Amino acid sequence: MAEQAKQAGQTKLAGQAGPGKQAGQAEKSPRAGQAGESTRAEQHHGISRRRLLGTAGAAGAAGLVAGGAAGAFGAEAVRDAPAALAGVGSATLPFHGTHQAGIAEPAQAHGHLVAFDLAPGADRKAAAALLRRWSATAAELAAGEAPKGDDTGIALDAGPSSLTVTFGFGRSFFDRTGLTAKRPAALEPLPDFTADALDRKRSDGDLWVQIGADDSLVAFHALRLLQKQAAGTARVRWQMNGFNRSPGATARPLTGRNLMGQMDGTNNPKPSDPDFASRVFVPDRDGDWMAGGSYAVVRRIRMLLDSWDHLSLERQEKVIGRRKSDGAPLSGGTETTPVDLTKIEKDGSLAIAGDAHIRVAAPESNRGAAMLRRAFSYHDGFLDDGAPDAGLLFVAWQADPLKGFVPVQRKLDRGDGLSRFLRHEASGLYAVPGGCAPGEYVGQRLLEG
Ligand SMILES: C=CC1=C(C)c2cc3[nH]c(cc4nc(cc5[nH]c(cc1n2)c(C)c5CCC(=O)O)C(CCC(=O)O)=C4C)c(C)c3C=C
Ligand SMILES: [Fe+2]
């Protein structure tokens, strides 16, 4: 009976989306509170988490009733019953706002990073039309609405699943569209680092899109629609696919782990920090078209996992400066205890080694330089020597890369114990404009200003 009720509930969920809508459209994201974006989501939808859970609970109860009804009256009765999605599918992060979505919210379980080059002859007007099409589609998908004319069916039955789509411009975009005079100084090419083994074909690009969702079909659907809409104007230059832990996979919300097994993201700037906005977002100065925007540094960093896995747990923890089990700093306390870089052990050694990753990367070691890291793991199979082609799609967000990624990576390049286990294989730097209001499109101030 329990199994029957579960199946009936699923049928009901599948049948819930009305015409022009995908399932579970209007609920707020359960992720939003984690990243301080709850106000954004709540203002937009005015729906509380309690309501979300209440709806899901009611759906469960309705499923039980419907299960009984299916036995008595057949499948039609089940299909017509009102339905609601479970939390993950129904979670919505609004596309419109001061900042683009996909920066301050926690990274989703599935991610696509994709760069496009403009087609020969595609000018500023064509680029503006593309950004207008893309923004409209991203807004519809993020709200759980099916874009007109989309007959792919890829994400039918699923809710928006915290979908975010974030758009950025590479340095080359400005020359190709006659906008060189508007190119921000912050888009100067990144310096060369000794750990770089960059594949130029998988680096840079005129346009960059980051897609994240907690459902893989929802994420792919967005990717496919944007790629189809680019036809004639822009071609995919490179694409990378990543993942994180699925929401609900752990007994309570925890910091995610990377493929080396470490908790990764603990000491990120938090949206509740007083200096979060000034570190991550470009200030509104003199009508700058980048106001409210951010700069994304994207690095495909392969992990030399075979070498890493040979290290003892103690050595691995020393390389990072934190305990693997719970992310606590080796200077003591729990995961969230502030790191004490000055602590000396009884034997006279530093509790956090001189070349420990968290010492070398810390703002205290880099004149306050900080960035928001929002990464996805990747695994693209195994290389000829049997080693995993796996690592981190590192995405760092900052108001100015010269006060974020660049000084920190310079320092890591010289003295980080972790760098022996990493290869930077691809790189990009993108100007990601602020968000837009309904009826507008991302980048409008640049393209029409
Ligand atoms: C240039 C910036 C950074 C790169 C590149 C980078 C790569 C990288 N990092 C890890 C794993 C961890 N990093 C951690 C902390 C941390 N990393 C950076 C910067 C870069 N990391 C910063 C600024 C910090 C925070 C330092 C601090 O203030 O304490 C941690 C510890 C947990 C955490 O705070 O997130 C881990 C683990 C990998 C595996 C990696 C490349 C693949
Ligand atoms: Fe790091």
Is 51 contained in some domain?
A: no
ipTM over 0.90: yes
Q: Given 264, 309, 340, 355, which residue is catalytic?
A: 264
Total of domains in the chain:
1
User: Which whole-number Å values give the CA distances from 263 to 111, 323, 378, 407, 414, in the listed order?
Assistant: 19, 9, 16, 23, 24
Enclosing domain of residue 175: 92-449
Is 59 contained in some domain?
A: no
Q: What is the pLDDT along the chain (449 residues), one digit of tens a residue?
A: 333 333 332 222 222 343 344 444 444 444 443 433 333 333 333 333 222 322 333 333 333 223 333 333 344 444 555 467 768 999 999 999 999 999 999 999 999 999 999 999 999 999 999 999 999 999 999 999 999 899 999 999 999 999 999 999 999 999 999 999 999 999 999 999 998 999 999 999 999 999 999 999 999 999 999 999 999 999 999 999 999 999 999 999 999 999 999 999 999 999 999 999 999 999 998 789 999 999 999 999 999 999 999 999 999 999 999 999 999 999 999 999 999 999 999 999 999 999 999 999 999 999 999 999 999 999 999 999 999 999 999 999 999 999 999 999 999 999 999 999 999 999 999 999 999 999 999 999 999 98
What residue's CA is closest to ligand 1, atom 13? 264
- 358 C-beta closer than 6 A to ligand 1: yes
CA distance 390 to 241: 11
Global pTM value: 0.87
Q: Are 179 and 147 in contact (CB under 8 A)?
A: no
**Per-residue DSSP letter, 374:** -
Question: How close is the Cα of 250 to the center of ligand 2, in Å?
Answer: 23
Is 52 contained in some domain?
A: no
Q: Are 82 and 108 in contact (CB under 8 A)?
A: no
Residue 286 annotated as catalytic: no
- 398 C-beta closer than 6 A to ligand 1: no
Q: Are 247 and 29 in contact (CB under 8 A)?
A: no
Is 447 contained in some domain?
A: yes
Q: Are 280 and 399 in contact (CB under 8 A)?
A: yes
**Diameter of the chain measured on Cα atoms:** 78
Question: How close is the Cα of 11 to the center of ligand 2, in Å?
Answer: 44
- 230 C-beta closer than 6 A to ligand 1: no
Pocket test for ligand 1, best of 304, 355, 357 (most atoms within 8 A of CB): 357
- 258 C-beta closer than 6 A to ligand 1: yes
Is 256 contained in some domain?
A: yes
Is 69 contained in some domain?
A: no
- 308 C-beta closer than 6 A to ligand 1: no
Q: Where are the beta strands (DSSP E) in 33-122?
A: 110-118
Neighbours of 21 (CB within 10 A): 16
